[in-house]
Structure 1
């Protein structure tokens, strides 16, 4: 395995970069701390093509705005904090850097509508993912098939499409009165993206109050939960109708206290590797027929999976695995960095709220997930919402009702770059002083 990855790196020029850094990234970034240098656009950038990080502006993002007056939105799921592992000098290895020659594998990559599900992913990447799960101990891989897609969203979409079709076909063959669509639900608070996925999938419809005992119900279970970080058991007893969304089941976000072996488990390079923009997800599927069907749904949408995406994910995993293999305990320095960042942020907020009137952090510190799930008391909301309480210091989260909860809850992302989180924390401190 190790020799194969080394040979591949040499072939593609995908070895770790040195000197001026990956893709020309400067060893001394002129945009820090208020932004990062974009090696393609040749200018400073923030997140989502913004010119700087939030609350920074000016030439080379050097102007720090008043942290109490500037507006800061902590609403997204971009795990930007993980990029600081590479740019902040925490890695013992050089930054992963993929440089694919124009002549490399120019043809379509997939087995179009093939039943050879074992061949739907670039073999070295498949081996790297299996090794990642083995060393992390978060999921069983023996006896599973792997299905890939453009992020966990596409993998979940393909699973819903196949499972719902199977349910309706079984109903039709039994001459029963069958529904026109299969209900999809998640336990509240739930990730609101499931509403869009299920509402735009053939044969499914979102129904937050669906009956988990009905044979015409599919459950999506986020483990641990987004937004609360809680580890929950499915309400649907038939495991063939449960999709386990496990994108946060990594040491950065929770204790790995069991190697899970559910029939269908979904992961992504976004929450694990910080590569949200690369759009790569994978499912571990026990049922081969389900895996083949999911692959066919994915192929029907995108024909083939980008070789460049697979190579970028592979290259990042190469470095992460190499670092882990150099430690006696096979621990991942990358995971330890992520865990330290996330756990210290949650501990800081928890300590702050311990003496903050009206605000409480509901997350368990052993399983935080990636988001602070904050509850406001009725006394501080003044007939408004918890989100509106935060707006008093120009801090913006997402109201609880978006997640199927009450609006005395609000979600704040803990995945921000450090400078944005520092501003968020200052705003929370000031808010607590106002409430006191």
Structure 2
């Protein structure tokens, strides 16, 4: 436990064997990703892993000239931090190039595909689809409490995070399932240089918690974490849709019912965020802030100010207070008022 090293024979030498085993067992149990014949790379959350993947795909030897930074794109609305994560280090290897729908530059590129998407919860596929492209699939929310598990994801680089699977954000644990050994080694090198591995205490805590979650899924006598969470999210979305329907101001995306292989029933998505759209020609973030509701505005996600993202993962008391404040915003002939 005192050494930098966890498993010297493993490609990811700082990955605790208990965590590697728990991750593979979890994906096998849930059925949301192919983990066999994959290299598991652990990181300090999925943000570090995203940077590691960008480095791995754009570094020398990856088919990119050193003098020509590779373009990084993601279809809008996209996660608000992707641009900051991409440009923060001012790397000469890659640079943010914006909305994948608008990308028309020739040559190599990296596309980040987020599915279910943050912020709108939509199921996504790659947009640009050119042979010069390389893909990073951010699957942080591909868990049964948020969306139907329709098939095991099977991509070259898949990112997951402890914070979204179970809610333990403070442990700062993320992992990537990587097909190519060379790419995995480059990601590991990035993490080695930036943080000399990942905390063993956090890894062992994550392994223990994931073990309890897996146990609950496999034995009927135990409480199934994902089924409980799915019921909770469904209840919150039902309450939210009722408030929004009565507001005559806001609207929400609609999600189709799909067969979930994990629960063996038809369910619809219940995303971790509400992607609200104002029906009035107004700044949605500013409107909600004026009524003491903190959000992130649409412009931070690459779209218009009429949108705002609101977290639905708060404590029950906070969620109920949010619904109360949202229901107090009404429309009149003179505009929007508070009741």
Fold in common (TM above 0.5): yes
CA distance in 2: counterparts of 1:337 and 1:264, whole angstroms: 29
Deviation of 1:266 after TM superposition, in Å, equals: 0.3
CA distance in 2: counterparts of 1:183 and 1:239, whole angstroms: 11
Q: Conserved in 2, the CA contact under 8 Å of 1:236 and 1:242? A: no
Query: Once superposed, what is the RMSD of the aligned Cα atoms?
Result: 2.3
> Structure 1 unaligned runs (5+)?
1-104, 173-177
CA distance in 1: counterparts of 2:159 and 2:49, whole angstroms: 7
Q: Conserved in 1, the CA contact under 8 Å of 2:43 and 2:197? A: no
CA distance in 2: counterparts of 1:373 and 1:270, whole angstroms: 20
1:150 to 17, 20, 44: 44
Aligned to 1:184: 72
Deviation of 1:252 after TM superposition, in Å, equals: 1.1
1:327-355 Cα offsets, whole Å, 9 max, x none, are: 28xx9711112111212111211122223
1:335 equivalent in alignment to 2:335: no
In the superposition, the TM-score normalised over structure 2's length comes to 0.87
1:253-402 to structure 2, matched below 5 A, reads 253-327=146-220, 333-364=224-255, 366-378=268-280, 381=281, 384-402=282-300
Number of equivalent positions: 318
Q: Conserved in 1, the CA contact under 8 Å of 2:285 and 2:307? A: yes
Deviation of 1:179 after TM superposition, in Å, equals: 5.2
* Farther-moved stretch of structure 1 (365-374 vs 256-265): 365-374
Q: Secondary structure at the match of 2:211?
A: helix
Aligned to 1:108: 4
Q: Secondary structure at the match of 2:29?
A: helix
CA distance in 2: counterparts of 1:236 and 1:388, whole angstroms: 33
Deviation of 1:115 after TM superposition, in Å, equals: 8.6
1:180-211 Cα offsets, whole Å, 9 max, x none, are: 31111111111111111110353111111463
In the superposition, the TM-score normalised over structure 1's length comes to 0.68
Q: Conserved in 2, the CA contact under 8 Å of 1:392 and 1:431? A: no
2:108 to 216, 237, 240: 216
> Structure 2 unaligned runs (5+)?
257-267, 332-336
Rg larger for: 1
Deviation of 1:396 after TM superposition, in Å, equals: 2.2
2:318 to 420, 424, 427: 420
CA distance in 2: counterparts of 1:138 and 1:240, whole angstroms: 24
Higher strand share: 2
1:124-148 Cα offsets, whole Å, 9 max, x none, are: 2111111100010000112211111
Q: Conserved in 2, the CA contact under 8 Å of 1:110 and 1:305? A: no
